[in-house]
Structure 1
């Protein structure tokens, strides 16, 4: 696992051992950032269920102004800290060791994000819980882009009732990226 492009290009990143996280493959990460290429430069980026932090670090490497990582797992947080220090992105990042809902509530009135990425554990409907929390949150701007990495069988049929729109669904062999915005 490595940073693919930008100022930290080719730097290897640590990941935690075991099955607690499933790092996004370089190929899928590259496809994702190709789709985000116009959204990332200068943005405030939120990486929820951050794992190793590779998605937020990739965003900073590609020109995001600031990234906040939210992760509850202690080992994963240590891994994210190591990766932040190794990439020398200490000033452009913040790590919150917390569950995602508590972290979102703690950021109310302090941050407003342009891009929110979440890769929750599959098949637990955590993405729906997070979107319910985000629907009235001040951390969203009118045009915030929310990207959810999910299993192939994840349904997003509830988005309209929460005030969101599915802009795009990118399907891979093993998972999907759902691109979501506030309904207009």
Structure 2
């Protein structure tokens, strides 16, 4: 069972697509958001949840005060589950995009303060590097990127303009943080 850990929707359950996704565990989300809230103000933040699956990361951010979330998911069944979760939770400012992360970052659009990328573990380093590089023009000043991968995969290649902040392992899962450099 996947649930929202804290905030206005704390304790509420999320439906999970029947197959093909690997929701971030409650333990990892709790630790990730404790760190995120200690370092950054989520209040009103614009959040992007790439490879969204059930939307656990984006919905957790909304529950903790983010003002908007865009969920990008290529699998139609998972996108339908996302729509159901958004309706059930009652969050208003939600956009669900049913396309690949690569296609989403290839077009111009709104800017984001926090980006979560939790690709399937099978997504290779080169493919992930292209997605991360593609999202850079859509990052607000000092935006944070959080990438979840299998711990055996290693840190992602951060694009130009993004610096590595920290990395944390949780068993088979590793979470990597990057931030837009403020060159001022």
Counterpart of 2:175?
Answer: 177
1:149 aligns with 2:151: no
Q: 1:36 to 1:163 in 2, by over 3 A?
A: same
User: After superposition, what is the alpha-carbon deviation per residue over 1:140-161, rounded to whole angstroms, capped at 9, x for unaligned?
Assistant: 12201000001112233743x6
- Structure 2 residue aligned with 1:97: 98
User: For each residue in 1:27-85, what CA deviation from the matched residue of structure 2 results, as whole angstroms up to 9, or x when unmatched?
Assistant: 11100110111332220000000000111011101100000000000110011000000
Distance apart, 1:7 and its partner CA: 1.1
Alignment coverage as a number of residue pairs: 177
Q: Does 1:39 align with 2:38?
A: no
Structure 2 spans left out of the alignment, 5+ residues: none
Give the TM-score normalised by the residue count of structure 1: 0.90
Which 4+ stretches in 1 moved above 4 angstroms?
none
Q: Is 1:130 the counterpart of 2:155 in the alignment?
A: no
Cα distance in 1, alignment partners of residues 51 and 58 from structure 2: 11
Ranges in structure 1 where 5+ consecutive residues have no aligned partner: none
* Aligned counterpart, 1:115: 114
**Distance (whole Å) between structure 2 residues aligned to residue 167 and residue 45 of structure 1:** 18
Q: Pairwise CA RMSD of aligned residues?
A: 1.6
**Residues 140 and 8 of structure 1: is their aligned pair in 2 closer, same or farther, counting only changes over 3 Å?**
same
C-alpha contact 1:167 1:181 (8 A) present in aligned 2: yes
Q: Distance in 2 between matches of 1:39 and 1:122?
A: 29
Structure 2 match to 1:50? 52
Retained in 2: the 8 A contact 1:118–1:149? yes
What TM-score comes out, normalization by structure 2 length? 0.90
The answer for the alignment partner of 2:7 in structure 1 is 6
- The 2-side partners of 1:104 and 1:157 are apart by 17
How is 1:15-94 mapped onto 2 (pairs within 5 angstroms)?
15-18=16-19, 20-37=20-37, 38-89=40-91, 91-94=92-95
Partner-residue secondary structure (3-state), 2:152: coil
> Does the residue aligned with 2:29 lie in a helix, a strand or coil?
helix
> Structure 1 residue 182: deviation in Å?
2.6
